[in-house]
Structure 1
Amino acid sequence: MFDSVLVLSEERSLYFGKESEAMAYFESVGFSPSFPVNPADFLLDIANGVCKLDAVSERERPNVKQTLIASYNTLLAPKVKAACMEITIVSAKETRLIGSHSSKEHKESNTVDLSTWFHQFNILLQRSLKERKHESFNILRVFQVITVAILAGLMWWHSDYRDIQDHLGLLFFIFIFWGVLPSFNAIFAFPQERAIFVKERASGMYTLSSYFMARIIGDLPMELILPTVFLIMTYWMAGLKPNLVAFLLTLLVVLGYVLVSQGLGLALGAAIMDAKQASTIVTVTMLAFVLTGGYYVHKVPSCMAWIKYISTTYYGYKLFINVQYGESKKISSMLGCSHHGRSNTVSCKFIDQDIAGQISPELSVAILLLMFVGYRLLAYLALRHIKG
Structure 2
Amino acid sequence: MSSAAQDRAIPIFLKFADVEFKVKVQNPSSSGNPVKAVMSKVASQLHIEQQYKQILRGITGSVGPCEILALMGPSGSGKTTLLKVLGGRLQENVKGTVTYNDVSYMPALKRRIGFVAQDDILYPQLTVEETLVFAAFLRLPSNMSQRQKYDRVEMIVKELGLERCRRTKIGGGFIKGISGGERKRTSIGYEILVDPSLLLLDEPTSGLDSTSANRILQLLQGLAKAGRTIITTIHQPSSRMFHMFDKILLISEGYPIYYGKGRESMEYFASSRFIPEIPMNPAEFLLDLATGQVNDISVPEELLASRQSAEFENSVIRYLQHKYKVDLEPKEKEENHRAAKVPERLQLAVQIKKDWTLSWFDQFAILFKRTFKERWRDYFDHVRLIQSFGVAVLLGLLWWKSSTATEAQLRDQIGLLFYICIFWTSSSIFGAVYVFPFEKMLLVKERKADMYRLSVYYACSTLSDMIAHVLYPTFFMCILYFMAGFKRTAECFFLTLSAILLIAVTSQGAGELFGAAVMSIKRAGMIASLILMLFLLTGGYYVQHIPKFMQWMKYVSFMYYGFRLLVKVQYSGDDVYDCESPAGCRSLQSSPSFDTVNLSGGLREVWILLGMALIYRMFAYLCLRRKINIANF
Q: 1:69 maps to what in 2?
A: none
Q: 2:556 maps to what in 1?
A: 310
Distance 1:376 1:384, change over 3 A: same
Q: 1:242 maps to what in 2?
A: 488
Q: 1:350 maps to what in 2?
A: 592
Residues 499 and 562 in structure 2, CA contact (< 8 A), matched pair in contact too: yes
Residues 183 and 264 in structure 1, CA contact (< 8 A), matched pair in contact too: yes
The counterpart of 1:321, out of the listed 560, 563, 567, is 567
Alignment size in residue pairs: 286
Q: 1:330 maps to what in 2?
A: 575
Q: 1:363 maps to what in 2?
A: 604
Distance 1:291 1:203, change over 3 A: same
Distance 1:274 1:333, change over 3 A: same
Distance 1:347 1:214, change over 3 A: closer
Structure 1 unaligned runs (5+)? Answer: 1-86
Measure, in 2, the Cα distance between the counterparts of 1:252 and 1:229: 13
Residues 161 and 239 in structure 1, CA contact (< 8 A), matched pair in contact too: no
Q: 1:272 maps to what in 2?
A: 518
Superimposed CA distance per residue, residues 345-378 of structure 1 (whole angstroms, 9 cap, x where no aligned partner)? x994424416x52694442111101111011111
The counterpart of 1:190, out of the listed 430, 436, 442, is 436
Measure, in 2, the Cα distance between the counterparts of 1:210 and 1:277: 26
1:169-248 equivalences under 5 Å are 169-248=415-494
| Letter of the structure 2 residue corresponding to residue 375 of structure 1 | Y
Q: 1:78 maps to what in 2?
A: none
Deviation at 1:116, TM superposition (A): 2.2
Distance 1:144 1:362, change over 3 A: same
Distance 1:165 1:127, change over 3 A: same
1:1-388 equivalences under 5 Å are 116-162=359-405, 163-326=409-572, 328-331=573-576, 334=579, 348-353=590-595, 356-357=597-598, 360-386=601-627, 387-388=631-632
Superimposed CA distance per residue, residues 177-196 of structure 1 (whole angstroms, 9 cap, x where no aligned partner)? 00001101111100000011
Residues 187 and 265 in structure 1, CA contact (< 8 A), matched pair in contact too: yes
Residues 315 and 368 in structure 1, CA contact (< 8 A), matched pair in contact too: yes
SS at match of 1:303: helix
Distance 1:300 1:179, change over 3 A: same
Measure, in 2, the Cα distance between the counterparts of 1:217 and 1:310: 24
Superimposed CA distance per residue, residues 106-125 of structure 1 (whole angstroms, 9 cap, x where no aligned partner)? 7xx5xxx6952222211110
Higher relative contact order, chain-length normalized (CA < 8 Å, sep 6+): 1
Superimposed CA distance per residue, residues 318-367 of structure 1 (whole angstroms, 9 cap, x where no aligned partner)? 111111112x2222685779979x89xx994424416x526944421111
| Letter of the structure 2 residue corresponding to residue 142 of structure 1 | L
TM score, norm. by length of structure 2: 0.42
Measure, in 2, the Cα distance between the counterparts of 1:289 and 1:193: 27
The structure where helix makes up a greater share of residues is: 1
Deviation at 1:166, TM superposition (A): 1.3
* Structure 1 stretches of at least 4 aligned residues deviating more than 3 Å after TM superposition: 94-99, 332-340, 346-349, 358-362
TM score, norm. by length of structure 1: 0.67
Distance 1:132 1:157, change over 3 A: same
Residues 161 and 240 in structure 1, CA contact (< 8 A), matched pair in contact too: no
Distance 1:167 1:334, change over 3 A: same
Residues 389 and 476 in structure 2, CA contact (< 8 A), matched pair in contact too: yes
| Letter of the structure 2 residue corresponding to residue 350 of structure 1 | P
Superimposed CA distance per residue, residues 133-179 of structure 1 (whole angstroms, 9 cap, x where no aligned partner)? 10122122111111111110000001123221111011000000000
The range that moved more, 357-366 or 222-231, is 357-366
Deviation at 1:287, TM superposition (A): 1.1
Measure, in 2, the Cα distance between the counterparts of 1:338 and 1:317: 30
Distance 1:337 1:330, change over 3 A: farther
Residues 332 and 348 in structure 1, CA contact (< 8 A), matched pair in contact too: no
Distance 1:360 1:335, change over 3 A: farther
Deviation at 1:217, TM superposition (A): 1.5
SS at match of 1:385: helix
| Letter of the structure 1 residue corresponding to residue 623 of structure 2 | A
Distance 1:287 1:358, change over 3 A: farther
Identity over the aligned pairs, expressed in percent? Answer: 37
Measure, in 2, the Cα distance between the counterparts of 1:183 and 1:352: 28
Measure, in 2, the Cα distance between the counterparts of 1:319 and 1:361: 9
Deviation at 1:96, TM superposition (A): 12
Superimposed CA distance per residue, residues 209-264 of structure 1 (whole angstroms, 9 cap, x where no aligned partner)? 11111111111222211110001111000010111110000000000100000110
Measure, in 2, the Cα distance between the counterparts of 1:137 and 1:97: 51
Residues 158 and 237 in structure 1, CA contact (< 8 A), matched pair in contact too: yes
Measure, in 1, the Cα distance between the counterparts of 2:367 and 2:580: 56
